[in-house]
């Protein structure tokens, strides 16, 4: 996600006195105030860390939850390895590639792939979204049902292009990219998240550089998720695409996954 963003005021607050120390630690880590006027609040409460827009017409808060809700439903009933994202990254009988999700966001796609057995590395460069993701992974690690899946997910915070260019060790077999784009998904959940995150992240104006860095690093393939009718990312052309109702996966193969 892009760090090309407008100036947005955010404060950190505890939702109960018992979370005051934790909130202070997040404020210090992220360089955010705990007092004063703000458009948004990063809140720490019993259910974890959440981002909330402040004001009378604001939607509800957003948090990363790998244990309950939509993510749990998708894990249990989402179609397993038959899901289009699984096919796009090359999940098949006996093949569970190592995947770098270089635009992790709230980690939903990465969690789906981890639940199918892929070893996942996540990169998120917007520090507040990365904080939500870190908190969600920590809570998942304490839950008996999803701890093993969370253990498959490693989070890095920073600029994905730079991290890919400076990569140390074994390269990921597959790199997955879902750059911020004017998504037309009409679901209430996505609209709420976009309303919260667009002021923080903007659109990914450097998607061509992201794709180029991914193609240089991935050993087997790069997969780019796009809205179904969106143009391909400028640069190398995908060899083929998998198309769904609202989105598609552009696939840039380098060698066969076995």
Sheet with 10-14: list strands edge to edge: 10-14, 40-45, 48-53
Distance (Å, whole) CA 234 – CA 219: 21
Which one-letter DSSP state was computed for residue 118? -
Residue 7 contacts residue 37 (beta carbons within 8 Å): no
Q: Is 3 marked within a binding site?
A: no
Distance (Å, whole) CA 167 – CA 226: 25
H or E element, residue 153: strand 153-157
Q: Is 203 marked within a binding site?
A: no
Number of H helices, E strands in the chain: 9, 10
Q: Is 178 marked within a binding site?
A: yes
Q: Are strands 247-253 and 221-227 parallel, antiparallel or unpaired?
A: antiparallel
Residues 6+ away with beta carbon under 8 Å from 251: 88, 221, 222, 223, 238, 239, 240, 241, 242
Residue 180 contacts residue 201 (beta carbons within 8 Å): yes
Distance (Å, whole) CA 100 – CA 222: 9
* Numbered residues of the known binding site: 108-109, 124-125, 178
Annotation: binding site for S-adenosyl-L-methionine: 108-109, 124-125, 178
């Amino acid at each position: 996600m892009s760090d090309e963003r407008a100036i947005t005021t955010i404060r950190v607050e505890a939702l109960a006195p018992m979370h005051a120390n934790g909130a202070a630690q997040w404020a210090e880590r992220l360089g955010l105030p705990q007092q004063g006027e703000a458009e948004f609040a990063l809140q720490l409460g019993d259910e974890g860390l959440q981002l909330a827009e402040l004001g009378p017409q604001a939607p509800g808060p957003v948090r990363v939850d790998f244990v309950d809700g939509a993510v749990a439903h998708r894990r249990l009933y989402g179609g397993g390895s038959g899901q289009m994202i699984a096919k796009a990254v090359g999940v098949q009988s006996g093949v569970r590639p190592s995947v770098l999700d270089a635009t992790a966001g709230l980690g939903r796609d990465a969690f789906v792939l981890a639940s199918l057995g892929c070893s996942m590395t996540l990169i998120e460069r917007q520090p507040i979204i990365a904080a939500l993701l870190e908190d969600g992974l920590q809570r998942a690690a304490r839950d008996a049902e999803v701890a093993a899946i969370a253990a498959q997910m490693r989070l890095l915070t920073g600029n994905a292009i730079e991290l890919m260019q400076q990569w140390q060790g074994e390269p990921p077999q597959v790199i997955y990219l879902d750059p911020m784009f004017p998504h037309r998904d009409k679901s209430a959940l996505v609209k709420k998240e976009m309303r919260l995150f667009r002021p923080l992240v903007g659109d990914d104006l450097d998607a061509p550089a992201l794709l180029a860095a991914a193609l240089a690093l991935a050993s087997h393939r790069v997969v780019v998720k796009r809205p179904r009718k969106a143009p391909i990312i400028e640069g190398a052309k995908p060899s083929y695409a998998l198309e769904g109702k609202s989105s598609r996966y552009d696939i840039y193969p380098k060698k066969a996954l076995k």
